[in-house]
C-alpha cells in the first residue's frame, strides 16, 4: 500500500469521524445521558450494540458523543495555538534581533516544562471544564507552531521576492500576510495534523484523571476512567472508547505522515 493510499485511508477515517460527530444526535440510538439501572453492565445485544455502563447508559451513544467532545477540544486547541504561534513566530522571524531573542528564550523556558504536567496543574487549579481543558492545552501547544513559523520565515525573508516587496514599500504586516505565510502553509498543516492528534490524546488523559469535561458529559477519557474498575467483569466499558481514541489518533497520524511525504517529494 503506497503512501498516497495511506493518506487517503487516514483522510477517509477522519472524515467519517467528523461526520459522525456532527450528526451525533441523529446517529446515536439513545440519549447518552439516559440512565436505566435495570440494564447496567450489559454486554453487546440487539438493543445495545456495544453494551451498557454501570448506570445502564448506552455505550455506543456515549462513544459517538465522546467523539464530538474530543474533536471539539482538539480543533479548538489547534486553532488557538496556531493563532498565537503564527503571531509570535512571525514577529521573531521577520524582525529578528532582540525581539527574536526575547521571544525564543521565553519559548525555551516554557518548553522546559512537560506540557501534560502544566495542563494537569492548570486544570487542577481552575477545575474541570471544556474551556479550561482547551486553555490548559494551549499553554505550551503554541510554542511548536511559533518555532516552526520563525524558522521558515528566517529562511524566506532574504529571498528576492521579499526584497522586492520591501523595495516597493510594503509594510511588514503585509509582507508577512501576503508573501511569507502562504509559503509556509504546507508545513503548518502537517504540524497542525499531528498537533490535533496530540491534543485529543491529552484531552483523554485529563478526562481520565477527572480533570476534563464535567460529568455526566461523555468523553472517551472519562469513559475509560469509569470502566477501569470493571475491567474483569465488563471489559467492553473500556474497549470501545479506547478503540475509538486509538483509531482517531492513528488516522490523524496517517494523514500527517502522508502530507509530510508529499511535501518532501515536492521539495525534491
d(CA 219, CA 216): 9
pTM above 0.75, yes or no: yes
d(CA 88, CA 21): 32
| Tens-binned pLDDT, residue by residue, of the chain (268 aa) | 556 788 889 999 999 999 999 999 999 999 999 898 888 888 888 888 999 999 999 999 999 999 999 999 999 999 999 999 999 999 999 888 899 999 999 999 888 888 888 889 888 888 888 889 999 999 889 999 999 999 999 888 888 888 888 888 888 888 888 888 888 988 899 999 999 999 999 999 999 988 888 888 889 999 999 998 898 889 999 999 999 999 999 999 999 988 888 877 766 5
Q: What share of the chain is helix, strand, coil (3-state, %, to 5)?
A: 75, 0, 20
DSSP states of 86-109: HHHHHHHHHH-HHHHHHHHHHHHH
Length of the chain: 268
For residue 91, the tally of other CB atoms under 10 A from its CB is 20
Q: How many Cα atoms are found within 13 Å in the side-chain-facing hemisphere of 82? A: 20
The domain spans of the chain are 3-28+50-267
Architecture of domain 3-28+50-267: Orthogonal Bundle (1.10)
Helices (H) and strands (E) in the chain, counts: 11, 0
Amino acid at each position: 500500500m503506497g503512501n498516497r493510499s495511506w493518506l487517503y485511508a487516514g483522510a477517509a477515517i477522519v472524515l467519517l469521524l467528523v461526520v459522525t460527530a456532527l450528526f451525533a444526535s441523529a446517529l446515536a440510538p439513545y440519549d447518552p445521558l439516559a440512565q436505566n439501572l435495570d440494564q447496567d453492565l450489559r454486554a453487546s445485544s440487539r438493543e445495545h450494540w456495544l453494551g451498557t455502563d454501570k448506570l445502564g447508559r448506552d455505550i455506543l451513544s456515549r462513544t459517538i458523543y465522546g467523539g464530538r467532545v474530543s474533536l471539539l477540544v482538539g480543533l479548538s486547541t489547534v486553532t488557538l495555538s496556531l493563532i498565537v504561534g503564527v503571531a509570535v513566530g512571525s514577529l521573531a522571524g521577520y524582525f529578528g534581533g532582540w525581539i527574536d531573542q526575547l521571544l525564543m528564550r521565553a519559548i525555551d523556558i516554557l518548553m522546559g516544562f512537560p506540557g501534560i504536567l502544566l495542563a494537569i496543574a492548570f486544570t487542577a487549579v481552575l477545575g474541570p471544564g471544556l474551556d479550561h481543558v482547551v486553555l490548559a492545552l494551549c499553554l505550551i501547544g503554541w510554542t511548536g507552531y511559533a518555532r516552526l513559523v520563525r524558522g521558515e520565515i528566517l529562511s524566506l525573508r532574504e529571498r528576492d521576492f521579499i526584497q522586492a516587496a520591501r523595495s516597493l514599500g510594503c509594510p511588514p504586516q503585509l509582507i508577512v500576510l501576503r508573501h511569507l505565510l502562504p509559503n509556509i502553509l504546507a508545513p503548518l498543516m502537517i504540524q497542525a495534523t499531528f498537533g490535533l492528534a496530540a491534543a485529543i490524546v491529552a484531552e483523554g488523559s485529563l478526562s481520565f484523571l477527572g480533570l476534563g469535561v464535567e460529568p455526566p458529559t461523555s468523553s472517551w477519557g472519562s469513559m475509560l476512567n469509569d470502566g477501569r474498575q470493571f475491567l474483569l467483569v465488563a471489559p467492553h466499558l473500556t474497549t470501545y472508547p479506547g478503540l475509538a481514541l486509538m483509531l482517531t489518533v492513528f488516522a490523524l497520524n496517517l494523514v500527517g505522515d502522508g502530507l509530510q511525504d508529499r511535501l518532501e517529494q515536492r521539495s525534491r
